[in-house]
Structure 1
Amino acid sequence: MTQYSSVSPDYRLGSTTIKRYDHEAIARYYFWRPWRALWRTLSIIWFFGGFALRLWLDKRNGETEKSRSRRANELRDILTRLGPTFIKVGQALSTRPDLIKPDFLEELIKLQDQLPSFSNAIAFALIEKDLGRSINDIYREISPNPIAAASLAQVYRGRLYSGEEVAIKVQRPQLLPVLTLDLYLMRIGAKFLAPYLPLNLGHDLTLIIDEFGIKLFEEIDYINEGRNAEKFAANFSDDPTVKVPSIYWEYTSSRILTLEWINGYKLSELDRIRAAGLNPDRIIEIGVTTGLRQLLEHGFFHADPHPGNLFATFDGRMAYIDFGMMDQLDNHTKETIASSIVQLINQDYQTLARDFVELGFLSPKTDIHPIIPALEKVLGKAVGESVGDFNFKTITDEFSELMYEYPFRVPAKFALIIRSLVTQEGLALSLNPDFKIVEISYPYVARRLLTAETPELRRKLLAVLFKDGKFQWQRLENMLAIASADSGFDILPTAQMGFQYLMSEEGEEIRRMLILALIEDDRLHTEEVQRLWLLLKDEFKPQKLLNIAWSGLRTFSGDRIAAVLPSFAQTQS
């Protein structure tokens, strides 16, 4: 049985003790220490101002391969010197080959786990203090030096006395003063700079920074990370393509995390992945599909999936590590996102605009009619384009103009979602610039809607299939064709659920609409039904059809069936 302390760690900021991110407490602390904020601000300006000047001089004097390499190394060094907050910015950029030149990209990738380590003596002392035993009593073996150093911690490789090989994650000392000061300055900057940014984020920018601060505080609590890992593993317990390391709670504290060692290749190591006989496209497919399952099925998603946190195992699975930055979506948000993807594929921009209202990107009072043509212009080329030709950068560039003309905003909750999607998109670009994410994401969403298990998701499916009171035969055909192309999709359970739904009280309206759809426009739509039958006939053997019908009927009483039959008769009269 898992055992761990349920008490959140106390964080000390000078004489102030805080249990979680609190921007007001942080602001009060630094308000009385303005010299610290001033010195940090001057340091940031000094580093980036000098860097920008040298870039300008290189361009003026004629940029060379040597100068580009020197500046790339310099940028990594600046981000490293400025500490965890800026390192995380660099980590995000390292997944964007469409934004960053190759010379800079190669250096920024090193920010994932090639950062300067801190003293082994400090790390081992912290382990012994938190776990209450000497190093030799805890681990049978431990590497004499860290095998990786990241922005918030460094990792040692070890072995327990019970024989398991483990990774030992030790938090960097004195993290809190650095993180809180950067968050404080970012919040001040957000208030003054928001009106001048290319995206019209308005006051929501401070909420995005607060969300980031909350997640940073969660990330430096390793008890919380361990819980997240176990929850993530439980969500994917039925998926043999996903690997999550086990947590060893006896050797874990809020600053020390001992977990199962994972052998594999980083997703940035394309040559090694290919040399091992693994298919990069298959790895991307696993990553995109599991990412969609996180967002649309479980609602619990990994918000920091950079190459240092994702591995291709030797047997071709996708291994996730580092569960410090996670977030949870409610059912309504999950299902509206799924609907939005389908509306995008179907190029139904009117319904997509309504979904944007539901998700909070547009105010409920917004008149969406003038926005619809603008959405069509921006998103019209999405279907069928490769990631390299149509990506989040393209959308952002186009939306930057729309956000000044129309009242779009970015809800704080979506900051981490966008970060996660952008990062996964960057990974897809790194492995295969021509890989079509739409071709993977749409089949999953189609299956998700067709197997709708909640009333809200069923309503989303009906909204897709019925437009302006008419049944969209082509949409149903497309969804079934795309979903059936996946060998993992079984139409029979879907048909059984659909039959049970039609026979239920909730399905009364859809029964009427389906009958009307079959005879609308004063003709019997036999051609459409025949196309659907040809598409699915191999799955529907007579005995299977009888079994589905009998299984569905058994769930209803005789009174319910008697009530259903008159509704069919009324529809036809």
Structure 2
Amino acid sequence: MAESLLGAETSRNSTVLKRYDPHAISRYYRWRPWKVLWRSLQVAVMFAWFVGSIQLDKILNRTERNLPLRAMQLRKLLTNLGPTFIKIGQALSTRPDLVRQDYLEQLTLLQDQLPPFPTQEAFAIIERELNCIVEDAFQEISPKPVAAASLGQVYKGRLYNGQAVAIKVQRPNLEKKLTLDLFIIRHVVKLIGPWLPINLSHDLRTIVDEFGTKLFEEIDYHNEGLNAEQFARNFRDSLEVKVPAIYWKYSSRSVLTLEWIDGFKLSATQCILDANLESDNLIRIGVESGLRQLLEFGFFHADPHPGNLFVMPDGRMAYIDFGMMDQLNQETKETLVDALVHLVNKDYERLAQDFVRLGFLTPDTDITPIVPALECVFADVVGSSVGEFNFKIATDRFSDLMFQYPFRIPAKFALIIRSLVTQEGVALCLNPNFKIVEVSYPYIAKRLLTEESPAFRRRLIEVLFKDGKFQWERLENMIAIARSDKSFDLVPTAQMGLQYLFSEESQFLRRQIVLALTEDDRLHTTEVQRLWALIQPDLHPSKLVNAAFGALADFSGGVVANLTPWAAPQSASKPADAREPQMAGSKRL
């Protein structure tokens, strides 16, 4: 690997490093101390001034008073140090377990904007990467970049078939700059750590390595194109989410040509309002698409800041920039649902166990003192209904908890948290009364009510029973919330529920329902009547009979038909035909 790094210096076509490898980088720069020394001197001078200012504040006893000023100075310092440090600052802005709240707020404002590099140089990169002159590849191309960021810049162009495209060109010599900076940061981070407002209960080199891995994935435009196509396949059944097409003939590892998206950045809230677009619908699309990525596909956009989300004139939401993506395995997806269920149930002991399973706490952590702390953080935040939940308040309080207990946010969850906080912040600009759980819970409720897997059935039962007692209000709320989603159909859901209720697997549930109807030495007719009044509009008698016989037919096969010949034609033909597409639809949730 060191040889390939050396080859990059003598050949313009060589790649410095295709994936992040701290050991290969270390071997390479060990023999080039002059490069390390010069860059280290630049970084050291700028940080020395900043650290000196913090120490002076301590001496003069003005640390707390000057915290906002120092936080702002840190943001500007990272911006001036260039692409690697801008990205480091953005990564730290997602780590409440590492950075105290004062600095965190400033780092979240860190802008990913740099002056563009010369167009002549950008065009030379395009020609080298595509092995043709610019005029042969593009019928039109803008003389100046339409956007410039820390890692590359974008031109607007047009192919010879008339398709408008965005041409993304990587900054020259970017990999060598990143490897040098990451090498320096990794080796001095322990030295400067005590002077920074960072929780050092974890090895910061591990954090740097996690970041370096994602950064090198981001600068591989071929990888980004593949990510975009996978994302598009996941949302192929959605009419509300747009993913730009990739034009591989005009793309490489350092140049990416993709479909041009017309619209407004999600950050341009006033433009969205002026265009008379339905802000509440945009919020719903954003939240639901985010939940589908996390809980359904497990493949999620890891950098969904407002600049990477576009609102199109027809009301669709377009995702762009797929350089930073991440994957959740099935166990993690299921644990996330468990954590949500335990949060709704206010079962903080099991919520703490979920944090262990998700990697927020090590397996040997004593969760006994953490359980009451979680209750203090979430008890009044959750409120009396899911609609009162405020994610930003919850994360702010959880950030404080990070400094008291041995929490560590895994890199992918740091990205998820930043995504949710950003999404909530943008939504609040569009609708000051927005509550993220109020919008997301219909999706969760619908999945709990319609998912056929045993794991989801167990979670539904866990929600509906607490301390052995049936939670009538939770069932009513869940059905009411799920019905707020226009695509939710209660009939196939009822049919699945009946099928499960009649199955051998649900013997315990049948006993619990009987107890629920008669608990506290009274017949719970009032609750049943209230529940019936809620669902009656969706359950016409004919539909309900069909659903019931369909469930019985699946449970007992031909027995039902033999015992009830007068109902045989109805249960044997019509429900079977009608049931099939409904069940297929429910499986897609």
Superposed displacement of residue 325, structure 1 = 0.3
Q: What is the CA distance between 1:212 and its match in structure 2?
A: 1.9
Match of 1:396 in 2: 399
Q: Note if contact 1:246-1:260 (Cα within 8 Å) is conserved in structure 2.
A: yes
Q: Secondary structure at the match of 1:537?
A: helix
d(CA) in 2 for partners of 1:118, 1:205: 32
Query: Would the aligned equivalents of 1:332 and 1:456 in 2 still touch at CA under 8 Å?
Result: no
CA distance in 2 between partners of 1:201 and 1:560 (Å):
67
Distance 2:425 2:188 in 1: 27
Percent sequence identity over aligned pairs? 60
Matched, 1:314 2:317: no
Q: Secondary structure at the match of 2:381?
A: coil
- Do the aligned residues in 2 keep the contact of 1:204 with 1:410 (CA within 8 Å)? no
Q: Which amino acid aligns with 1:480?
A: I
Amino acid of the residue matched to residue 408 of structure 2?
Answer: R
State the secondary structure of the residue aligned to 1:555: helix
Against the structure 1 CA distance between its residues 459 and 180, is the aligned structure 2 distance closer, same or farther, given a 3 Å change threshold? farther
Counterpart for residue 479 of structure 1:
478
Would the aligned equivalents of 2:142 and 2:156 in 1 still touch at CA under 8 Å?
yes
1:80 is displaced (CA, Å) by 4.1
Q: Deviations over 1:173-215 (max 9, x none)?
A: 1111222233334434555677887776744654443232221
**What is the alpha-carbon distance in structure 2 between the residues aligned to residue 434 and residue 53 of structure 1?**
44
Give the letter aligned to residue 396 of structure 2.
K
Q: Any conservation in 2 of the 1:383–1:438 contact (CA below 8 Å)? A: no
Q: Does the alignment pair 1:237 with 2:229?
A: no
**What does the per-residue CA deviation read over 1:341-372, in whole Å, with 9 as the maximum and x for residues that have no partner?**
23323322233223223222234444434322
The aligned amino acid for 1:183 is L
Aligned AA (1:14): L
Higher mean Cα deviation, 13-22 or 240-249? Answer: 13-22
SS at match of 1:381: helix
Q: Which residue of 1 aligns with 2:418?
A: 419
CA contact (8 A) 1:280 1:431 kept: yes
Change (3 A) 1:437 1:38: farther
RMSD after superposition: 3.8
What is the match of residue 336 of structure 2?
337
> Which residue in 2 is equivalent to 1:569?
none
Which residue pairs with 2:443 in the alignment?
A: 444
Q: CA deviation at 1:250?
A: 1.6
| Paired residues of 2:157 and 2:166 also in contact (CA < 8 A) | yes
CA distance in 2 between partners of 1:199 and 1:561 (Å) = 67
**Aligned AA (1:396):** S
Q: Deviations over 1:494-551 (max 9, x none)?
A: 2222223334444344334333433444443333322221221111111111222233
* 1:162 partner SS: coil
Deviations 1:439-498 (A, max 9, x none): 222232222222223322222222222333333333222222222233332222322222
Distance 1:268 1:433 in 2: 15
Note if contact 1:387-1:433 (Cα within 8 Å) is conserved in structure 2.
Answer: no
Could you tell me whether the CA contact under 8 Å between 2:345 and 2:466 is conserved in 1? no
Q: 1:222 to 1:104 in 2, by over 3 A?
A: same
Q: Is the 8 A contact 1:268 1:430 kept in 2?
A: no
- Indicate the SS of the match to 2:229: helix
Instruction: Give the whole-Å Cα distance in 1 for the aligned partners of 2:45 and 2:424.
Output: 33
User: Mapping of 1:28-43 within 5 angstroms?
Assistant: 28-43=27-42
Give the SS at the match of 1:510.
Answer: helix
Summarize the Cα distance change of 1:55–1:411 in structure 2 as closer, same or farther, 3 Å threshold: closer
Match of 2:542 in 1: 543
CA contact (8 A) 1:251 1:257 kept: yes
What does 1:261-300 correspond to in 2, within 5 Å?
Answer: 261-300=260-299
Say whether 1:44 aligns with 2:74. no
* 1:186-225 to 2 correspondences below 5 Å: 186-189=185-188, 191=190, 202-203=201-202, 205-225=204-224
Alignment TM-score, normalising by the size of structure 2: 0.80
- Higher mean displacement: 235-244 or 190-199: 190-199
Q: Distance in 2 between matches of 1:25 and 1:391?
A: 41
State the distance in 2 between where 1:485 and 1:33 align. 63
The corresponding residue for 2:500 is 501
- SS in structure 1 at match of 2:154: strand
- 1:174 lines up with 2:177 in the alignment: no
Quick one: which amino acid aligns to residue 399 of structure 1? M
User: Per chain length, whose mean CA-contact separation is higher, i.e. which structure has more relative contact order (CA < 8 Å, sep 6+)?
Assistant: 1
- For 1:83, the equivalent position in structure 2 comes to 82
Q: Is the 8 A contact 2:391 2:436 kept in 1?
A: no
Name the residue aligned to 1:409: 408
Which AA in structure 2 matches 1:411? P
Q: Tell me, yes or no, if the aligned pair for 1:157 and 1:165 is still in contact at 8 Å.
A: yes
Distance 1:328 1:84 in 2: 25
Counterpart residue type for residue 382 of structure 2: V
Which has the larger displacement, 136-145 or 189-198? 189-198
**Partner AA of 2:342 in structure 1:** Q
Q: Is the 8 A contact 2:227 2:323 kept in 1?
A: yes
Work out whether residues 270 and 280 of structure 1, in 8 Å CA contact, stay in contact via their aligned partners in 2.
Answer: no
C-alpha offsets along residues 95-133 of structure 1, whole Å, 9 cap, x if unaligned? Answer: 99x9789x9899x57x34x42112222222222222222
1:91 Cα deviation from its structure 2 partner:
5.3
Taking a change above 3 Å as real, the CA distance of residues 461 and 204 of structure 1, as seen in their structure-2 partners, is farther
- Identify which range, 151-160 or 551-560, moves more after superposition: 551-560
Distance 2:293 2:193 in 1: 31
The residue type paired with residue 390 of structure 1 is: I
Quick one: structure 1 residues 370 and 475, their matched pair in 2 at CA, closer, same or farther if it must change by over 3 Å?
farther
Cα gap change, 1:464 to 1:39, in 2 (>3 Å): farther
Within 5 A, what are the aligned runs for 1:354-373? 354-373=353-372
Query: In the TM superposition, what is the alpha-carbon distance from 1:134 to its structure 2 partner?
Result: 1.8
How has the CA–CA distance of structure 1 residues 381 and 547 changed in structure 2, closer, same or farther, with 3 Å as cutoff?
Answer: same
SS in 2 for 1:488: coil
- What CA distance in whole angstroms lies between the structure 2 residues aligned with 1:388 and 1:20? 35
TM-score by length of 1: 0.82
Question: Higher mean Cα deviation, 115-124 or 486-495?
Answer: 486-495
Runs of 5+ consecutive residues of structure 1 not aligned to the other structure: 1-8, 61-67, 563-573
In structure 2, the gaps of 5 or more residues are 9-15, 61-67, 562-589
Report the Cα distance in structure 1 between the residues aligned to 2:54 and 2:407, rounded to whole angstroms: 35
Structure 2 CA distance for aligned equivalents of residues 319 and 11 of structure 1: 42
Paired residues in the alignment total 538
Partner of 2:377, secondary structure, is helix
**Structure 2 counterpart of 1:150, which letter?**
A
- Measured in 2, the distance between the counterparts of 1:495 and 1:209 equals 50
Partner of residue 14, structure 1: 6
| Secondary structure, aligned partner of 2:224 | helix
Instruction: Tell me the amino acid that sits aligned with residue 245 of structure 1.
Output: P
1:195–1:336: structure 2 CA closer, same or farther, 3 Å change rule? farther
Deviation at 1:307, TM superposition (A): 2.1
Mapped partners of 1:166, 1:281: distance in 2 = 30
SS of 2:485's partner is: coil
